Chain A
């Protein structure tokens, strides 16, 4: 069988069933933080049990296996067409095996053909580089958390948010307030300051490729990331919005140039069921190593 196909099906299986180690550590930390005997603590216990059970049974952590988003870093001359065809076949196979839910619906007539393959699904982003390695990262992002993403245009009079980092802080925290309960917290924010409406959201999602315990190389953004997480966790929203100590597990922010007329702050929310994995591939497509 085609080695690339086998590797991609395995990538989908592991992404759907196993939470990355950095996220699991953050969840365990948050379980310890919650007050004993509260329903917030009970929620975190169930979440922790669920993580173990999904891995043991090799079944989806969450039934909403989400948008299927591949990020491919590849050398010059890499055959993107074959990759895309193989990825579509791998998605169909993973769906048949139950690693993915039948999750892709025709927006015009509501039909679900059960394959997960169609216009816009899966999403594949290619990025060329000048060395020989091939790295494939996958994010499965559920609809509940996608629905609470938000894009603000500064200035925002209602939130008294001007075109500066303090204005960014205000709208990001407003997004946390508005998302409560709906996005399966504790969550993780991916934010892009700047860009246009499309790239702003795009780059905000790419922040989910970072590990939770990294630091932002830009000092002012690193400071803002830590401040947002800390402040959000003082609001008492808590796991699932039940009230409690952990509202966010982390915040990741990037900045992109903007037009003089535009100042967007785009916020993507990731639920605790943060499904992100990656593999590096040998030239023929066999799996060399896991990236997270």
Chain B
């Protein structure tokens, strides 16, 4: 198991390879469909959202508010990443993202951006909302809640030992591509 802490250094990230089990600690930002489309259309983030060199998490959590107004994440698994494929590469480039956490993997454009700019795709376990919510120690802030609604807002989270698996590394390898090719060949033998 490899432990990483944000901000993740490019040198550490370049040594990661497909199949590595990693835990992430530190600050991450959620961002999914609405945020990616917004950025693609030239929308500006609030200055407090410091994505530079950061990690974005494709996630729409369940968040409860207590009597004092504080937030608690009560369910927080990943959403399917491929929907952000049209936008992700440009965002990796613009913000120098070091990590994208999601599920299901992404396509060639993102894979190429990971290699060129030094970013890794970390696969969290889809549906494991409780195991992953346990790793969220604190909600630091929320942005664009009114505009996008709770699941699509940008939640700034402090996480500890958040378990993920490298499925697209910064050397151009994609587990998703290799499993797809092998399974497609296996299926051809069986139909």
Contact = CB atoms under 8 A, between A and B. Distances in A.
Contacts of B70: none
Interface stretch (A120-128, A231-239, A249-257): A231-239
B127 A39 contact: no
Contacts of B152: 112
Contacts of B74: 59-60, 98
A234 B183 CA distance: 9
Interface stretch (B2-10, B57-65, B88-96, B112-120): B57-65
Interface stretch (A6-14, A102-110, A217-225, A280-288): A102-110
Nearest to B184: A177
Given A238-B179, A241-B176, A271 B127 contact: yes
Contacts of B53: none
Interface string B26-61: 000000001000000000000000000000000111
Contacts of A98: 62, 64, 74-75
Contacts of B128: 46-47, 49-50, 62
A101 B76 CA distance: 11
Nearest to B186: A235
Interface centre among A65, A101, A173, A181, by most chain B C-beta atoms within 10 angstroms, is A181
A43 B125 contact: yes
> What DSSP secondary structure best describes chain B's contact surface?
mixed
Contacts, number: 161
A101 B103 contact: no
Interface centre among A103, A114, A240, by most chain B C-beta atoms within 10 angstroms, is A240
A57 B191 contact: no
A95 B19 CA distance: 37
A212 interface: no
Contacts of B60: 63-64, 101
A46 B64 CA distance: 24
Given A63-B76, A144-B126, A241 B104 contact: yes
Contacts of A203: none
Contact of B150 (A59, A112, A238): A112
B75 A53 contact: no
B122 interface: no
A54 interface: yes
B126 A240 contact: yes
> What DSSP secondary structure best describes chain A's contact surface?
loop
A5 interface: no
A227 to B, nearest CB: 10
A50 B129 CA distance: 7
Contact of B130 (A50, A64, A169): A50
A242 B175 contact: yes
A237 B105 CA distance: 13
A61 B129 contact: yes
Nearest to A239: B125
Interface of B: 19, 21, 34, 59-62, 64, 74-77, 79-80, 82, 103-105, 123, 125-131, 133-134, 148-152, 163, 165, 167, 175-176, 178-180, 182-184, 186-187, 190-191
17 contacts: A39-B21, A47-B127, A50-B127, A59-B133, A61-B129, A61-B130, A62-B128, A63-B75, A63-B133, A102-B149, A143-B80, A180-B180, A182-B103, A235-B183, A235-B187, A242-B165, A243-B179
Interface of A: 39, 42-43, 46-47, 49-50, 53-54, 57, 59-65, 98, 101-103, 105, 110-112, 114, 142-144, 147, 159-160, 169-170, 173-174, 177, 180-184, 231, 234-238, 240-243, 271-273
Given A50-B129, A63-B62, A271-B126, 20 more contacts: A47-B125, A50-B128, A53-B130, A59-B74, A60-B130, A61-B130, A62-B77, A63-B75, A63-B133, A101-B150, A101-B151, A110-B34, A112-B152, A114-B149, A173-B191, A177-B180, A177-B184, A180-B176, A235-B186, A273-B127
**Pairs of residues from A and B, 4 with the lowest C-beta to C-beta distance, nearest first:** A112-B149, A184-B126, A63-B75, A273-B127
